[in-house]
Structure 1
């Protein structure tokens, strides 16, 4: 049985840990509110932008000529894997990494074996994990969260777009955690390039007449890059909100577990203390009896 001093030290240590997890939970909850507001405000815009592009580009020759819509035989692959910069968030990062590894195994195993698969890591945890596994990792944009904004994400999107247009990659896919609520994050995989229309053929401009100002070609030329950048920005904001939800949930569970452990340790402490007192009383009584019989 552990000594009273050891049990007291463990109780003090767990108390300190519980205070830290409580504070981290409160911080994550505050940041989650802002992150959740950001993604809920962006989602309708991103969806409408994608629908608009699909509708407007259906009859535009400029759209079909865009380098971002040119489908090619898939020899070279870029996966944009979005994780976080920090841990203490349960299985959040692990799930995104596993999602990317599953995608590689099921869809791009041949390209990986040929050395034609590269990872663009957004988030330090993903960069570290794939580097340990020996993947080709582009860490240029792994610190996006240190100053998260559309401008920083746009730089990552433009690099992927330029490399795709130059023929360095034949497909670009995004793997990230989609935010549902504080307790639920779902791993999503989306094709970023070449872009695919999300609008059904029945809803395309062939059945709707539009008046374009400026010209249809100018609108499509502007919409295509903007839609691609917004798609990546939405994925990053989704992942950011999902991270704080996962962290808040993990810290809440850690606080509960610390409380349960404290209950057990206090029970052990009281039992140990009672046993020590009983032993002392028995020793005193035994000594008194020995003196009386002497």
Structure 2
């Protein structure tokens, strides 16, 4: 049985850890509210923009000519993996790693074997993980430090430029979608090429609108498609940001509860050890007294 000093030290250590996890939970909760507000404001805009783009694409049909809609044989692939800058968020980051590895094995094994697969790591954890396995496109490991559309726009433009130039034949995003504090779902979405058939038509009223194009439908599409792609990546980053804080808040809440349970066990052990020590001392005193009495 451990001595009293060891148990006291462990109790002090667990109490300190519990205070830290409580503080981290409160910080994550405060950041989550802001991140949740951001993604809830972004979703309707992104959905509406995609709806308009889908309607215009459907009207254009086969006449649509866009450098972002060119379908080529998939020889070179770019995967955009979005994680967090910090850990202590449960399986938040590891889920993205597992999904990315599963995607490579099931869909891009040939490209990976021929070294034709590139990763753009958004977030420090993704940068550290995938950086050990090969060269990365760009340096976006501190995006979440000052999260803004301009920062994400640079990453989107780099991926779009690579697709236009033929450096990549397909661009795919892997990220955590925010559902609620306790639920984050890993999503794998194709960013490029943009296929007309994949553009959703949001509602009947919008789809039946008779558009008047000025200056021309093609010029409008050439402006709208790049903007939509940038918004799509920015939305994925915002989803990941909210998911991170939700995952960390849940993880720290569980860690705090586990620390509380451990404290109960340690205090019980401490009381038992202390009682055993007192009992031993009493027995020694009684034994000594009896020995003195017998010697007289």
Shorter-chain TM-score above 0.5? yes
In 2, the alpha carbon distance for the partners of 1:149 and 1:268 equals 51
In 2, the alpha carbon distance for the partners of 1:98 and 1:288 equals 69
In 1, the alpha carbon distance for the partners of 2:207 and 2:201 equals 11
Structure 2 unaligned segments of length 5 or more: list them. none
The match for 2:54 is: 54
The match for 1:247 is: 248
- Partner SS for 1:137: coil
- Partner SS for 2:47: helix
Q: Judge conservation of contact 1:25–1:252 (CA < 8 Å) in 2.
A: yes
When the two chains are superposed, the root-mean-square deviation of aligned CA atoms in Å is 2.0
Q: Does 1:12 align with 2:12?
A: yes
The match for 1:285 is: 286
In 2, the alpha carbon distance for the partners of 1:172 and 1:23 equals 39
* Shift, 1:58, TM fit: 3.0
The match for 1:170 is: 169
The match for 2:274 is: 273
The match for 1:152 is: 151
In 2, the alpha carbon distance for the partners of 1:191 and 1:205 equals 25
* Shift, 1:202, TM fit: 10
Structure 1 residues 239 and 206, CA gap change in structure 2 (3 angstroms): closer
What TM-score results when the alignment is normalised by the length of structure 2? 0.94
Q: Judge conservation of contact 2:39–2:235 (CA < 8 Å) in 1.
A: yes
The match for 2:239 is: 238
In 2, the alpha carbon distance for the partners of 1:147 and 1:258 equals 33
What TM-score results when the alignment is normalised by the length of structure 1? 0.95
In 2, the alpha carbon distance for the partners of 1:95 and 1:153 equals 22
In 2, the alpha carbon distance for the partners of 1:190 and 1:203 equals 25
- Partner SS for 2:68: helix
In 1, the alpha carbon distance for the partners of 2:208 and 2:180 equals 38
In 1, the alpha carbon distance for the partners of 2:176 and 2:165 equals 29
In 2, the alpha carbon distance for the partners of 1:224 and 1:200 equals 15
Structure 1 unaligned segments of length 5 or more: list them. none
In 2, the alpha carbon distance for the partners of 1:62 and 1:41 equals 34
Q: Judge conservation of contact 1:81–1:122 (CA < 8 Å) in 2.
A: yes
Tell which deviates more after alignment, 218-227 or 180-189. 218-227
For these two proteins, the number of residue pairs brought into alignment is 293
Q: Does 1:217 align with 2:214?
A: no
Structure 1 residues 5 and 172, CA gap change in structure 2 (3 angstroms): same
